[in-house]
Structures are given as C-alpha cells and as structure tokens.
Structure 1
Amino acid sequence: MELDELKEKHGLPEEVVDVLNQEGMEELYPPQVEAVRKGILEGENLIMAIPTAAGKTLVAELCMLKSILDHAGKCLYTVPLRALASEKYEEFKRKYEPIGVSVGIATGDYDVSGSELAEYDILVATSEKVDSLLRHRAKWLAEMTTVCVFDEIHLIDDPKRGPTLEVLAARLRQLNPELQILGLSATISNSEEIADWLDARHLKSDWRPVPLKEGVYFRGKIIFEDLTEKEIEASASDEVSKIALDTIEHGGGQVLVFVSTRNSTEAAARRVAGEIGDRLSSEEKDQLKEVAQEVENALGESTETCRKLGRYVRKGVAFHHAGLHYRQRSSIEDAFRKNLIKVICATPTLAAGVNLPSQRTVIRDYKRYSPPYGMQPIPVLEYKQQAGRAGRPDYDDHGEAVLISNSVEEKELLLDEYVRAEPERIKSKLASEPAIRTHVLGSIAAGYVDSLEAMIEFVRQTFFAYQFSTEDVSSTVEKVLDFLEEEEMISTEGRWLSATKFGSKVSQLYIDPLSGVKIREGLEKSKEREPTELGLLHTICSTPDMDTLYLRKREDSDLDVFVSDHAEAEKFLLDPPDPRRYPEKYEFYLAEVKTAKMLQDWINEQPEEQIHERYGVGAGDIRRKVGTAEWLLYGAYELSKLLEAEEAITPLRTLRQRVRYGIRKELLDLASLRGIGRVRARSLYKAGYEGKEDLREANVGELTRVSHIGKRTARSVIKQVQN
C-alpha cells in the first residue's frame, strides 16, 4: 500500500505522509498494510505479533498521529525499559515535533502526579511510571480516551515486570472502556489469547523486511533450517572468531555475539579483537580511538574494565553487559550503528533492549546458570529475540542467526529445539504474593477499589483470570489483605476497605509494602539506637526492593565476623536472625550487610576500581544500586516524618544526597553543580574550592589547572555559580 492511498482511503493526515516521505518511505510493509485493514486508523484495538524490524512501531505512530491531528487526542506509549523509552522519545521528537506534535518522556520520580505531563501529545513512559501516576490519581491520565500503546506486551510473562504491565492494562481499560489499545509483541505462540483478553483484533506474521536464515554451525559449516549449508572459510582460533572474521571479510558486515555471562563477553571480545583488529582502515582506527577514549573516561576515574574495553574498541570489538556504565553502553551502540565497531559480544539483555541489527547473530551459549538447578536451556522466545537481531535493513539481502554445536547430536538438538521450534506460550505471573501485594495496596490507596468484592471484580479483568480463573488468585488476594491489615496499611469495616496514612504513603512512594514494613521497623529502632549511616543503609538493603549482592566464596565467614563483633553490631538497626535456627535468613542478612557496606564505601569515596574488586560489581551495577538506594532513602525520609522518627530525619536527608553523588559530607555543595561528580568535586576541594562561594571569583584558566576540569566544565561551573 502506497502512502497516497493511505491518505486518500484511510484519512492519514497529509503532514504525516510528508514526514514519512522525508524518511525515505514510499509504501507500507505487508504487516503494516494488514494492520490498517484491520481498522487501527478507525479506532480498533489490535495485538500485533511480528518479528523484529517488521514495522510494529510505525503502526503505533500512524495510529497515534491520526488521533492527535484529527481529534486532538492524547497518546501514551509504554515501554518496559528506560533505554527503550529514551530511544523512542528521541525518534518521535525528531520526526514529529516539526509538524507540531509535542513529545514527552517520563521514567522516574514515582512520588509525583506529573500534571505537567498532560500537556504532551505523545507521552513515552515506562510501565512502572504510568502505574505510579495512577496511584497518585493523575486525573489527566485516567481520563485519557484516545490511544495507549503497550510495546513488548509479551513481557507479561516476565516475573518482575509482567504483573505491573498486566495490572496497568487492566486498570486503564477499567477507567477508560473506550481507550484504543495497541499491543506490540514479538512472535509468540498464544498472542491470540492476549488479543481476546483485551477485546482486540489479532495480527500475526512471520514477514520480515530482511529475510532471516537460522542455522547451526558445526565443523566449519553453517547448516540452515532447510538443510542448505554454507562454508566458513576464515581461519581463527575459535568458532566465534571464525564466524566473525568470515562476516567481515566476505560481507563487510557486523556481528552480535550472545553469551551467557559477563566474563564470557569479555573473554570472547578479547579473542575476536585479536583476529580482526588489523583489518580496520586507518580512518576507522582514528574514529575508534575517539570512541575508546569515551568509554575509558566515562566514569571520571578509569578502571581496569574501562581500560580493557578501550583496548578492544580500538580494534573494532566491544563487550556489552549490565555491569558497564550507561554512557559506555551508549557509546558502543552508537559506534556499532555507524559500522565502526564490527563485533559486540553481549549478554542476552541486549536482545531485549535498543534497536541494534547486525548481519549475523551468533548465539554461542544456549544454556544459562539458574540456581538452584544449574545450567538450563534458555527459552525459545529468548533465542528468537536474539536471532531476530540479524539482518540490517538497507544493507543486507538477508540476515543469519547461528547457534554453535560441538557434536552431531547437539547439532540436531539445536535444529529441532530452537531453529524449528515455536516460542513458548506466554503465561501471567500475577498470582504470586510478592507480585500482587503492591498492586492490591495501590488499588485501595488510590481509591480504585473499596471492598473485597470490588477487588475480586478487578482481578477478573486481568490476564491471569482470563488464562486460569478468578478463584486461583482470590485466595492470594485475601492473604495479602490479611497481611496489609495486620501491618496497619489498610483498615476494614465490614466488607469495606480503606488505606491508612502509612499504607497510602507506602503506595505513593511506589515501594513494596514489605519494604515499608522493614523501613518502619528500622525507624522505630532509631528511636532507641543512634541511626548510623551503616545502620540506615542496611535497613534499606533489607527490603525486597533492593537487589542485594551475591555472597562469593568465603565472604560469608568474613561478614559473619563483622556482624558478630559487638561494636559493629550496635551500628545496625535491624538485628540479625539466629544463624543456627534460621541459617537461610542469616545468609540473606549477610548479603544485605555486604550491599550496605558497598554503598558505604561509595559514599566514603572509595575508588571505583577498589569497589569493583572488593564486591564483584561493575559501574552499571553500582549506579543501579545507587539509584535504588537513593529512592529507598527518600522513602525512609518521608516515612520518618510520618512516623515521627525525629532522630532519623536529618541523617536520612543527608545520606540520600551523599548516595546520589558518592561523596563525603564536605562535598555536598560542590557536587550539586551540574557536570561535577564525585571525582571533580574532590579535585576542586583539594585545590581549595570548598564550596560554591569559593568558586565565584575563579576564572576559566584557574579552574582548568585543577585535575579533571576542562575548559567546557570550567565555563559551566562559572556560569552556574554566578547566576
């Protein structure tokens, strides 16, 4: 279908057609044509299950833009990850703000109603952010009656994000029965079920703009699904390097390599870098040198991981995992899109993240360690997502996804169990108690339900009830209600339910009700014991919202000595469980202490390299834990005021700022300047600038003599302190 036909027969506004023409589009892909024929431009709900790069997002764009330009509609585009939100925000803003469509983004600050967000025509947000807005009774969101897009809706199957996505879809439909729903999904076996649940039309297709060939590498050949074969002629020390080298030498292409662990990404990158580094042009080497400098200096202080990444980037190869700083991941992704970096060796998180196609995708590891079961095969859906990254539009006539086998038996198994297999059936994960308790409290606190009957009626609208039955989840709901009443988060009067002040505050803070209980326990103890920084940090690390660090070999004994020491034990607000009676709980306690000690090292300005080595974490891990800790400390601060824990109020307020910047108290004033992190703040302090007042008389020349301060940073600092 050509764009002019789309305008004439389906009323797509002319300015949208002009934008698409500028983007180089002349006609729609077949799945997009089918979506139009199913009525998405006339307000029909639709679940669209098609492969990566087959045009799901554009369908949503057409639907949103027609609503905005023809009916002054407001549109919500929800995504599971902040990185995806940023990508979509930048894309929509670039394309559509020139024609008068305003685009906003919302991903954090879960305790605000965000009334200013109502002004945007398209709001890109994470599911958690939208859920938190509803808890704050954001009327503008509850009254929205145009278009809501759920990107990656198959993640309803995800134990962590799925319940929020599911409850959000059910809640928005409850509030706005006329809301048009678009669900975008990877190809899954039961997308029809999701469509039926949401009263939507269904579109499923295997069509791709760049055909995908899937196969298995064995003894120098790729054996494809149709049993055709391709020789890999390159010579290298390992299979991954051979395939990568063959791709670069014979097709001028790029490769994504998926392995199971972070250490494996770095080891694979080292081997591949040794094979392809000499095959880069002089111009590529010069540009890669700049990228290498970016990743080496991303933290302000270079670590061994930064230097290692920089060495490989100079040779056109990178490793990519959640332990890297987001600036490093962003630099790598940008250089890959520009065809500077030829090979990325990544953990599976990249497959579910930003759009990053390659000519070949190599899935080296199809098993992953899963405690307590050991090495387990990955789901077919996960493999298909990784495989779907192969094939670059405008560059390749086809993409190739390759598994690696070591025997004839394994080759046949991989062909049958992955290449020819259908993705698994998506199942709701709402029924578990931890998943449902925060949504039960949120529903009561926001006033969406006021009785057990109303709660059960809402549960009937969920995907879980559609797949199984309301009765299967009713017992869990009643158990959660008993817990909330016992912990004084809700009160009951007959069959009527209402939230207490404590329960309302916990819900608005967007923390797990059990986290609220743990924080309250620590705050009550702070009235009897001095709330030390370690004691407060451990309190927030004891909550289910904090993903604690793993205990490595022999760490438990060292931490046991630390906790058992009487002088140290007095620093904790929450007492340790008896290790003999509750060994498992005690081990969890030690993991909480380890996490708290890492955060304590962070705020005491220990070098990042030392933190990496001591705790087995990367820069990305530190930032995620810092972000969670900052939010939980804010929650504890708000609860300390409500619970009149006076002794903890000031320490919590100060501690939150220190955690945000990773600094001692004396640097708080300096670190509040934009562009001045922990390293630059300490450099300024050592040079005699102890606060903003000291910087008012400084000039650019004086500041650039300070370590880590360049001209641009110096000018920014001077401008800030003089305003």
Structure 2
Amino acid sequence: MKIESLNLPDEVIRFYLDSGIEELYPPQAEAIEKGLLDGNNILAAIPTASGKTLLAELAMLKAISGGGKVLYIVPLRALASEKFDRFRTFSSVLIKGPGNGGPRVGISTGDFESRDEWLGSNDIIVATSEKTDSLLRNETSWMQEITTIVVDEVHLLDSANRGPTLEITITKLMKLNPGCQIIALSATVGNAYELADWLKAKLVLSEWRPTDLHEGVYYGGNINFRDSQKRIAPMSQDDAINILMDTLQEGGQCLVFESSRKNSVSFAKRAGTKVSEVLDKPTRNSLDGIVEQIIENGETETANELAQCVRSGTAFHHAGLNAAHRRLVEDGFRNNTIKVICSTPTLAAGLNLPARRVIIRSYRRFDPNYGMQPIPVLDYKQMAGRAGRPHLDPYGESVLIARSYDEMSTLFDKFIDAGSEDIWSKLGSETALRTHILSTIVNGFATTRDGLMEFIEGTFFAHQNDTWGIMEVVDECIAFLKDNRMLEGDEVLMPTTLGRLVSTLYIDPMSGALIADGLKKAANVTDLTLVHLICMTPDMRQLYMRSNDYEVINDFVISHSEEFVEIPPRSRELDYEWFLGEVKTALLILDWINERSLDQITKKFNVGEGDVHAFADIAVWLMHSVSRLAGLIVPENGMDLASRAIMLEKRIHYGASSQLLELVSIRGIGRVRARKLYDNGLRTVEDIRRSNIDQVSALIGPRTAAKLFEEIGLHLKLDSESGGKVSSKTMSSLMGNEQSTFSDFEK
C-alpha cells in the first residue's frame, strides 16, 4: 500500500515521502484496511521495529487535520522525551488551516499536583500513564477535548507496579471521552484478542518484521539456528565476547543483556579490552569527546568506570546511571560510535536502540521469593526484538547462550519457539484499588458502592474475571478510607477535604493516613522526623538492610530516639527490621541534603547515582505532600510544620543546605559549584554582581562562569588589572574568539 494512496492531507503525504517512506509495511496496511484513518479503535500487537509508531502518527495527523487533539501515553519518562522529539518534527506539516502552522506538541511527566492547563493549547500531548492519571484527578479541563488516545506499550497492564494505574487511566478516558479513537500499541501477547475485545478495537496481529530476525542459541562454538549454524571464531575464553567480536567484524553493533547491574559493568569492562583493538582513529576521537562529557557530568566512581569503558568502545546502561550518562550512551550507540552496550533489561523497555545482534547472557533473574528464575517469554521477545536495524542491517540475530546440549534444546522450546504469555489485570488487590477508588469518587466517576462496581465493570479486570470476588476488596477499601477521614456518607459516598487533597496530591491513601497520623503525634520535630515520616510511606522506595547495617543503624536510632514519631518494639522482629530500612532510606536523603558527595553516598548505600536522584525525586513529591497536609491536620502549629517541610522540599530538590538555596536556584549552578562559590565569599547573587569574570572562572570554569553571568542578567565586572577589559585569555576561553568585545558579554 502506497503512502500517497492514503486518505491524508497532501502535506502529511509529502512529509513522509520527503522522509523516504513511500510504502507501508504489511501490518500497517492491515491497520489502514481495518479503519485506522476512519476513527476505528486499533490494537496493533506486532514485533518491535515493525512500524507501530508510524501507525499512531498517521492517525494522529489525520485527527489534527480535522481539529482533533491527541494524547500519547507512554510508560517511561525517557520514552516520553524520545516521542516528544520525534513529534516536534511535524511542525512543518501545515495541516491546521491557513496561518495556524503545524501541530503544536507538549510534554508532561512530573508535578503530580499540577493541572497543566497550559498544555491544552497543544495538538499532541505526550505524558506518562501516572501523569495522565494525575491530570484526570486534578480535573484538567482539556482532557475532555481529547479525540485520539495512543497507548504505547499497552501490555504493561500486566505489570504489578504500573498496570493498575494504566488500566484505571484507560477506563476513565473511555468513560470521559466515549467517542474518542483509541490506538493501543503492544508487543505480541498471548491474549491479544481478549485485550482488543476490552478496548472495542480491531486487532492487527502479526509476526512480520522489516528486517528478518534469526533467533538462535550458542553452543559448541556455533550459533545454532533451527535450519543452520554459524561458526564463531574463538578469540577469548568468554563465549559472549567471541560472539560480539564476530558482530563487529561484520560491521554491526551489539546489545548484551545481563541479569544485574554488577554483571553488566563487569562484562562491559572485559569486552572493552577486545573491542578497543578494532577501533579506528576517527572512532577513537569521537569516543574521547563522549568520555569528556561523561566525566563533566559525573561525580562518582561509576562515571570513571563508564568513561573507561567508552574509551574502549563499550558501555554499560542501567537505572543506576544518571540521566546525562544514559543519554550520552544512547546517543553514542545510535551514532555507531559506541559499538557495544551491556545492559540490564531496562533498555529493552521501549527505547529505540536496535543493534545487528542481541546477546542474552543470562536468561534468569533473581526473585526474592524463589531465587534465580527464567524470565518471561514476553521479556525475551522484547530483548530479541532489538536485533536488526531497519534499513541499516540486512538481518538481525538474537543469541541465547547454553552450557550443554540439553540446555540448548530447552532454550529453543521455552523461548524461541514459545508464544508470549497472556497478560492479566493486576487491579484486584487492596493495595492497587484503594488509591483508585478514592480518585474515582473524588472525580465523580462514581458516588455510591453500586456506582463503584459499575465503574469497575468497565475495567480489564472485570473483562477477565467475575467481579463478585472483588466486592469484598472494594468494601475493605471504602472502610479504610472512611476510618481515615477521607470519605464520608453511607448511601452516597463523598470525599472529605482531606480525601480530596490526598487524591490531588497523587499519593497512596495509606501514605496520606501515615503522614496525617505522624503529624498529629510528632512532638520534637526535626529534619529527621519529617524525612523519616515520608520514608514510612508505601510511596517511598525502600533500601534493603544488609548484614553490616543493623548495628550501625540501630545505634543511630538509639541516639536519636526522641526524633522519631514512633519506634516499634524490637520484639516485633519483622516490624523493627522494616523500620530500620526506613531509617536507612532517611539517612540517604539526609546525606543528600547535607551535601555529602554523590560518590560517598553511592558507596555508603551501595546504590547508583541515578538511584540517588530517583530517591530524591520521590522525596520531593512526598515532602511537598507533607507541607500541604500540615495545615489541614494540625492547624495549631501547621504553619510552622509546613514551613519546615517547604524548606526541606527545596533542599531535597537541590541536594543542598539552606544556605546554598539562592545560588543553586540559578540554572546551571548545581550544589557542587554553589558550594565552591559560597565558600569563597560569593554567597548571593549580589556578591556575584560585585565580582569579576576571572574570579568566578577560577572557581567554576570559564564556560560555566559565562553562562552564570548570562543567567542572572547582569553586566560583567571588568578586571582592573587588565585596563578595564576582560583578559584576552578569558575572552578566548569563554567565547572562542579573541576579538570579542565587552558588548558580547552583555545580556
């Protein structure tokens, strides 16, 4: 099917022809035939790299040309940014009428208490499922104007963590906008027909790929496929290194999936010793540029390890890396500068990073209840699907590694020849339901018990199960919400002021109840009191206790016992151990705001730099919730508690003491640079105004100094020793041009 034959505006057709896309893939053509451009709901369950995003784009642009508004829902912030960048390329497609320009694109992934009404002026809004849920809770007006909803990675309904929120969000959107078109995109799943039936969607189910995927198992020196073998030359004692070197010799790149962060780092280092031997000089020069940026954007030993790997042409990728490092690795791989990425499965979850060959070094994952267990087939298919770059590779290969003939046979049966598992709703537990029952009542989707059951009838859970089994759970949730003063009424259920606030803050009602109870009981309130209070909540990630933690943290608890709201008795061993884990998590946040270096924090708590930022992001959100709840819960001293919480919220955001807040609020001046300025007498913006460029450059570097002066919008103070001019050396460093004049430095 030709692009130019589609029922689309000429500008859209020209955009894709100019992009080199002239013909649709078979699954895309099938979606058109099933009414994609006619407003029909579509579930596309097709492999990675088979053109799912193009399906969404065609429907989106058709909708916008008719005056519609599109909501594009993704599971991850990184994926939201990737889609946002892609959709901004539509700005030249003039389909909105004379003088209206191309589609406007907005993105929203954070600040769960914000309505983001400003986003309503956009034609395409990209948001995570959690942010979409929060927009619904905050009754954002433009949500009722949505005409097309795209749900990317819809198979994550099966996720215990993200699934319930995604399911409730889709259910609410279908009720709020019953006439809107839904386009759901998924990897192939076992029960795609059941999912399509729930969405009232036409199903496009296909195994077709634009680049052939050959799935095999390495054993006995060969990659063994069903109908052929490929001999791999031995260059190392590590089979995976031999396989990836074979890939590089054929001009391809390689993704290697490992079971843990530690293993991914270790393998990237080992592989680098071989990969570095085949790098040419231009590639080495490009890698050196990436290495510089890695070091500039890192404060930990991990940054040095990553730099060491990248210098050799390899990299590791996991959630412990900071965002800048992950982006540098991804861009370096896309540009074919980095040849090998060794990753935990996070990389397989949606990011567009295909490679010639995918090596799955470990097909088992650690389960805290059962030890090492085989991964689901769906996870395997997600990883294997990264093999083969469309239009760049003649084929793609995924390779599992076996240690025996019997294991090889098992891997063919259990993964390569197996179909993906069915996906199942995870909505049926009290933990999953209580937050969504509260928000459903707050937003008026239901106001009675019968109304709640009617709402639940529209969920995927109800589509798969009889709802009589969930009635008891619903009653338990209602009782909990009433007991904690978030709901009131018998026949008609009404949210209280507290219930409405908890819902709009986007916290678990259990978190709201714990915070409210803690604020009432707190006597001697310190920073530790409030930080531990948020670490008690189910919304906060918890650090695990290690054997050498118990004595240290227990001693800390004893010496600070008056600062905790409540300490469980040691006789309740499980409760006390969980409490110590909360304290350990609180100590990480306290180290962060007291400016302990990231390198010290990551080593002390055995976490990554990205983990520290993730803990801080959650803590900012929860501390904001404390500040909002304080005045309502304890009106007699709520203002004092709220003020303390607001200060802590800012300090957690920046990872700094209160004395640095004025400096760190300047864009580009993080806590490390702010501390250098502060300790050298530049403690306020006014102090910087009275300084000169050479003084600031000596502390934080000439380039950053130039940005700082530009950011605060002040004239630079000239260096008197240079005759009233900035020195040519500083000029050259800052501007790259020795002929620059003072006027170049004026805002």
Task: Report matched runs for 1:577-592 at 5 Å.
Answer: 577-580=568-571, 582-592=572-582
Distance 1:702 1:558, change over 3 A: closer
Task: State the shift of 1:553 in Å.
Answer: 1.9
CA distance in 2, matches of 1:97, 1:596: 49
**Deviations, residues 173-202 of structure 1 (Å, cap 9, x unaligned):** 111211111100001111111110111111
Q: Is structure 2 residue 59 aligned with structure 1 residue 66?
A: no
Task: Report matched runs for 1:456-605 at 5 Å.
Answer: 456-492=453-489, 494-526=490-522, 529-563=523-557, 565=558, 567-573=559-565, 575-580=566-571, 582-605=572-595
Tell whether the 8 Å contact from 2:153 to 2:350 is kept in structure 1 after alignment. no
Distance 1:48 1:719, change over 3 A: closer
Stretches of structure 2 lacking an aligned partner (at least 5 in a row) = 95-101, 715-746
CA distance in 1, matches of 2:570, 2:675: 41
Q: SS in structure 2 opposite 1:104?
A: strand
Q: Is structure 2 residue 349 aligned with structure 1 residue 343?
A: no
- Corresponding position of 1:268: 267
Q: SS in structure 2 opposite 1:496?
A: coil
Match of 2:87 among 88, 92, 97: 92
TM-score, normalized by length of structure 2? 0.93
- Corresponding position of 1:128: 130
CA distance in 2, matches of 1:381, 1:673: 45
Number of matched residues? 705
Task: State the shift of 1:159 in Å.
Answer: 0.5
- Corresponding position of 2:180: 179
**Deviations, residues 62-113 of structure 1 (Å, cap 9, x unaligned):** 00101111x1100110001000000000000023455311111011111121
Tell whether the 8 Å contact from 2:112 to 2:134 is kept in structure 1 after alignment. yes
CA distance in 1, matches of 2:26, 2:681: 66
Tell whether the 8 Å contact from 2:212 to 2:388 is kept in structure 1 after alignment. yes
- Corresponding position of 1:714: 706
Q: Is structure 2 residue 690 aligned with structure 1 residue 697?
A: yes
- Corresponding position of 1:21: 17
Q: SS in structure 1 opposite 2:560?
A: helix
**Deviations, residues 164-223 of structure 1 (Å, cap 9, x unaligned):** 111111111111211111100001111111110111111100000101010100121011
Distance 1:213 1:40, change over 3 A: same
**Deviations, residues 606-656 of structure 1 (Å, cap 9, x unaligned):** 111111111011100000000000000001000012222233121111111
Q: SS in structure 1 opposite 2:388?
A: coil
Tell whether the 8 Å contact from 1:154 to 1:186 is kept in structure 2 after alignment. yes
**Deviations, residues 21-64 of structure 1 (Å, cap 9, x unaligned):** 12111111111100000001001001110000100011111001
- Corresponding position of 1:401: 398
- Corresponding position of 2:442: 445
Task: State the shift of 1:417 in Å.
Answer: 0.2
Distance 1:550 1:97, change over 3 A: farther
**Deviations, residues 444-463 of structure 1 (Å, cap 9, x unaligned):** 11222111111000000000
- Corresponding position of 2:142: 140
Query: Amino acid of the residue matched to residue 53 of structure 1?
Result: A
Q: SS in structure 2 opposite 1:203?
A: strand
- Corresponding position of 2:614: 624
Query: Amino acid of the residue matched to residue 337 of structure 1?
Result: R
- Corresponding position of 2:743: none
Task: State the shift of 1:412 in Å.
Answer: 0.7
- Corresponding position of 1:653: 646
Task: State the shift of 1:440 in Å.
Answer: 0.4
Q: Is structure 2 residue 233 aligned with structure 1 residue 233?
A: yes
Larger mean CA deviation between 536-545 and 690-699 belongs to 690-699
Q: Is structure 2 residue 624 aligned with structure 1 residue 634?
A: yes
Q: SS in structure 2 opposite 1:208?
A: coil
- Corresponding position of 1:256: 255
- Corresponding position of 2:2: 2
Q: SS in structure 2 opposite 1:216?
A: strand
- Corresponding position of 2:99: none
Q: SS in structure 1 opposite 2:71?
A: strand
CA distance in 2, matches of 1:719, 1:426: 50
Query: Amino acid of the residue matched to residue 224 of structure 2?
Result: I
Match of 2:384 among 365, 370, 387: 387
Stretches of structure 1 lacking an aligned partner (at least 5 in a row) = none
TM-score, normalized by length of structure 1? 0.96
Distance 1:97 1:488, change over 3 A: farther
Task: Report matched runs for 1:44-83 at 5 Å.
Answer: 44-69=40-65, 71-83=66-78
Match of 2:33 among 29, 34, 37: 37
**Deviations, residues 479-534 of structure 1 (Å, cap 9, x unaligned):** 10010001111001x321010011110000000000101111221123xx221111
Q: SS in structure 2 opposite 1:412?
A: helix
- Corresponding position of 1:111: 113
- Corresponding position of 2:170: 169
Q: SS in structure 2 opposite 1:705?
A: helix
Query: Amino acid of the residue matched to residue 567 of structure 2?
Result: P
CA distance in 2, matches of 1:472, 1:196: 22
Tell whether the 8 Å contact from 2:377 to 2:418 is kept in structure 1 after alignment. yes
- Corresponding position of 2:741: none
Q: SS in structure 1 opposite 2:114?
A: coil
Task: State the shift of 1:229 in Å.
Answer: 0.8
Q: SS in structure 2 opposite 1:313?
A: helix
CA distance in 2, matches of 1:518, 1:524: 10
- Corresponding position of 2:729: none
**Deviations, residues 363-388 of structure 1 (Å, cap 9, x unaligned):** 11111111121111110000000000
Query: Amino acid of the residue matched to residue 687 of structure 1?
Result: N
- Corresponding position of 1:279: 278
Query: Amino acid of the residue matched to residue 129 of structure 1?
Result: K
CA distance in 1, matches of 2:21, 2:400: 34
Match of 1:375 among 356, 359, 372: 372
CA distance in 2, matches of 1:572, 1:66: 58
Distance 1:549 1:717, change over 3 A: farther
Query: Amino acid of the residue matched to residue 555 of structure 1?
Result: D
Task: Report matched runs for 1:194-213 at 5 Å.
Answer: 194-213=195-214
Q: SS in structure 2 opposite 1:504?
A: helix
Q: Percent identical across equivalent pairs?
A: 45
Task: State the shift of 1:559 in Å.
Answer: 1.4
Task: State the shift of 1:234 in Å.
Answer: 4.2
Task: State the shift of 1:464 in Å.
Answer: 0.3
- Corresponding position of 2:247: 247
- Corresponding position of 2:722: none
CA distance in 1, matches of 2:623, 2:702: 33
Q: SS in structure 2 opposite 1:667?
A: helix
Task: State the shift of 1:695 in Å.
Answer: 1.2
Task: State the shift of 1:702 in Å.
Answer: 2.4
Tell whether the 8 Å contact from 1:40 to 1:63 is kept in structure 2 after alignment. yes
Tell whether the 8 Å contact from 1:465 to 1:473 is kept in structure 2 after alignment. no
CA distance in 2, matches of 1:121, 1:294: 35
Q: SS in structure 1 opposite 2:43?
A: strand
Tell whether the 8 Å contact from 2:213 to 2:388 is kept in structure 1 after alignment. yes
CA distance in 1, matches of 2:90, 2:713: 36
Task: State the shift of 1:552 in Å.
Answer: 1.4
Q: SS in structure 1 opposite 2:601?
A: helix
Larger mean CA deviation between 226-235 and 262-271 belongs to 226-235
Q: SS in structure 2 opposite 1:675?
A: coil
CA distance in 1, matches of 2:273, 2:454: 61
Task: State the shift of 1:554 in Å.
Answer: 2.2
- Corresponding position of 1:323: 320
Tell whether the 8 Å contact from 2:595 to 2:655 is kept in structure 1 after alignment. yes
